Amino acid sequence: MDYKNENLINPEIQMLQLPVSFHKKTRQNLVEAMKGVAQGRSIALFRGDTTKPIQDQDIEENFQQESNIFYLFGVNEPDCHAVLELDTGKSVIICPRIPEAYKLWMTVKEAPYYKQTYQVDEVKYDDEFEAYLKEKNPEEIHVYFGVDPDSGLTLPLPEQPFLKSYNIVNDKMYHILNELRVFKHQEEVDQMKFIGDVSSEAHVRVMANTKPGIREYQMEALFKFHVQERTGSKEKSYDCICASGNEGPSILHYHDNQRIVTDNSLILNDMGSKYNGYCSDITVTFPSNGKFNDKQKEIYNAVYDAYISVLRSIKEGVQWQDMHHLAEQRILEHLIKIGLVVEAPIDELVQKRVGAVFMPHGLGHLIGLRVHDVGGYAPGHPEKLKDLAGLRSLRTRRTLKAGMCISVEPGCYFNKVILEQAFNNPEVSKYLNKSKIEEYTCVGGVRLEDDVLITKDGHFNLTNVPRTVEEVERACAGLPWKN
């Protein structure tokens, strides 16, 4: 066994911290936005995430901070609460008091640490929280409470028994705070560009080191190694999707990652990471042996056309749903040309949802402190659709505005279940060339996904991976890939 490798661990790691001034600004913005909503001596109370044992063991799940408390206070330790006084703007972190004896077992952080690191106005221990509240005597305690439109879930509320004697308001702050989070500050864009770059490098490294015969999870392992080795991050944006062969890439959230990569197949790697709270979400598709075959290239270029058309069109003022339709149309045009879809007016194909047979998911989602970020559906913006295939999976239908960060992820798949349904539906099947489609199921699926910042005139790309057929093939060969 010879595992020494001079370049495997490199002291020149990369780091980028959010300045405390950023959190101060987000707090000021929330105080401002809550004016006229919060009455008198009101406070906003946030519950950070907690240490969670794995089952009944004395081992814990990886900690991931709740995103609002992080956004507003920067606090990244478990078992904290935080208060923002909406009348005075004063900020208070409530931290756990950890017994002295624990210093033998762990790094114990005490009040001065929180004060110095996060530069809030005050730090209280959890056993001082009740007395603080009594003194402040707030007329309202605003908490963040709402149903997430993607998951249908809510966050747990603060549950200190002494809160019962106060007026807890849970229906005012959710959309106000979400709306602030939708529009990214420069500091946030810097963070997202940083983790986007590291994740992009990781993807390219995986492409250069993949060959037929390896297991899908080996690609996941290398991706995660690159990100943790470069940044130290153990945070999870989402489960890595490493899909190969003619079935895996057609399953949208496939993350079994157990199969052996076969020769002459496409690999769809949808992997992102999270650093200092902010997420990346990137998908590349590349040939297992480094060279696309003809069918793979045809489908790849259909998706590439959709991808580049959307990137050329997005800017402030554009409706996201129109971008979804644009991607769908581009893909349909290619499929007609190849002969998989019968020639027909594009409007008719769109109306019959033929595009959704091949791209059954939404074009993308807001991204930030969560991979599927908050604010996709909100009062005053288009509602979620219930019925239309593909469109009902859109995670937002908003009009784009500068400052939003969103993923652009068109795809074209040959999914068994969807195709069977389509072939059995006479309304749709009449547009499909079944025998020709069956020739292409070996392609599996293609998805290309970038994260971008919307600007007045276009977009700023947070992702940096090879995209054209030539670039991809160069990256697979381990060559400099940029045109």
Q: Report how far residue 65's alpha carbon sits from residue 471's, in angstroms, rounded to the nearest whole number.
A: 37
- Nearer to a copy of itself among residue 69 and residue 327 (C-beta): 69
Which residues 6+ apart lie within 8 Å of 379 measured at CB? 175
The single-letter code of the amino acid at 178 is N
Q: For a copy of itself, give the closer residue by CB, 67 or 91.
A: 67
Of 76 and 329, CB closest to a copy of itself: 76
Residue 341 has what DSSP assignment? B
Which residues, listed in sequence order, are joined to residue 446 by a DSSP beta bridge?
A: 412
Compare residues 62 and 137 and give the one whose CB is closer to a copy of itself: 62
Residues forming a β-bridge with 53:
60
Q: Is 223 helix (H, G, I), strand (E, B) or coil?
A: helix
Q: Of 131, 143, 145, 138, which Cα lies nearest the Cα of 166?
A: 138
Shortest separation between residue 56's beta carbon and a copy of itself, angstroms: 4
Residues 54 and 60: beta-carbon distance below 8 Å: yes
- In the complex, minimum distance from the CB of residue 155 to a copy of itself, in angstroms, rounded to a whole number: 5
**Minimum distance from residue 281 beta carbon to a copy of itself (Å):** 11
Which has the closest alpha carbon to 381: 403, 395, 397?
A: 397
User: Nearest approach, Cβ of 87 to a copy of itself (angstroms)?
Assistant: 28
Q: What amino acid is encoded at 295 in this protein? A: K
Q: Which of 312/416 has CB closer to a copy of itself? A: 416
CB of 65 to a copy of itself, least distance (A): 9
Choice between 111 and 221, CB closer to a copy of itself: 221
| DSSP SS3 for 336 | helix
Q: Are 343 and 440 in contact (CB under 8 A)?
A: no
**Within a 13 Å sphere around the CA of 405, how many CA atoms are in the beta-carbon half?**
30
Q: What is the smallest separation between the CB atom of 272 and a copy of itself, expressed in angstroms?
A: 11
* CA–CA distance, 214 with 51 (Å, rounded to integer): 36
Report the nearest approach of a copy of itself to the CB of residue 251 (Å).
Answer: 6
Least Å distance, CB 232 to a copy of itself, is 4
The position carrying tokens 């040939």 is 287
Tokens (6 digits) for 231: 């940044």
Q: Which residue's CB is nearer to a copy of itself, number 131 or number 417? A: 417
Nearer to a copy of itself among residue 160 and residue 262 (C-beta): 262
Query: How far is CA 89 from its chain centroid?
Result: 31
